[in-house]
Amino acid sequence: MITILAYSMIAVFMTTIMTRVLSALIALILVPAIFAAAAGFLPGLPEMMIDGIKSIAPTGVLLLFAILYFGLMIDVGLFDPIVRLVVRVCHGDPLRVIIGSTLLSAVISLDGDGSTTYLLVITAMLPLHRKLGINPMILPLVAMLPNSIMNIAPWGGPTARVMASLHLDSSQVFLPMLPSVALATLGSIAIAWYFGLKERKRLGKIDFVYTGPAISERSLISEDNIHPPRENADIPAWRQAFNIVLTVGLMVLLILDIAPLAVLFMLAFAIAVTVNFPRVADQRERISAHASSVLGVVSVIFAAGVFTGILKGTGMTEALAHSIVWMIPKDHGNLLPLITAVISGPFTFFLSNDAFYFGVVPVLAEAGNTYGIPPEVIARASLVGQPLHQLSPLVAATYVLCGLSEVEFGDHQRFSLKWAGILAVLMLIGALVSGAVTLV
What are the two backbone dihedrals, phi and then psi, of residue 397, each rounded to the nearest 5 degrees?
-60, -30
- Helix/strand/coil for 211: coil
Element counts in the chain: helices (H) and strands (E): 22, 0
Q: Give the CA dihedral 211, 214, 218, 219, nearest 10 degrees.
A: 40
d(CA 409, CA 393): 8
Helix H segments across 138-236? 138-150, 157-166, 170-173, 178-203
How far from 378 is each of 358, 387, 395, CA to CA, in Å? 13, 18, 23
357, 161 in Cβ contact below 8 A?
yes
d(CA 184, CA 370): 31
415, 157 in Cβ contact below 8 A?
no
32, 235 in Cβ contact below 8 A?
no
Per-residue confidence of the chain (440 residues) as pLDDT tens digits?
888 888 888 788 778 876 778 877 888 899 989 999 988 899 999 999 999 888 878 877 877 887 788 778 878 877 777 767 776 777 678 898 899 899 888 887 876 667 778 887 888 788 888 888 899 999 999 999 999 998 887 666 687 778 766 777 777 888 889 999 999 999 999 999 999 999 988 887 766 554 443 444 333 323 333 333 344 456 788 888 999 899 889 878 876 768 887 888 899 999 999 999 999 998 999 888 888 777 877 887 788 788 878 888 888 877 776 776 677 666 666 788 898 899 888 888 877 776 777 667 877 887 777 778 888 999 999 999 999 998 888 787 888 888 888 888 889 999 999 999 999 999 999 999 998 888 76
144, 130 in Cβ contact below 8 A?
no
d(CA 145, CA 106): 9
141, 414 in Cβ contact below 8 A?
no
pLDDT on residue 215: 40
pLDDT on residue 302: 84
385, 347 in Cβ contact below 8 A?
yes
Q: If you ran DSSP here, which 8-state letter would residue 360 be given?
A: I
d(CA 93, CA 131): 11
264, 95 in Cβ contact below 8 A?
no
pLDDT on residue 121: 86
What are the two backbone dihedrals, phi and then psi, of residue 232, each rounded to the nearest 5 degrees?
-105, 40
d(CA 407, CA 409): 6
pLDDT on residue 165: 67
d(CA 401, CA 141): 9
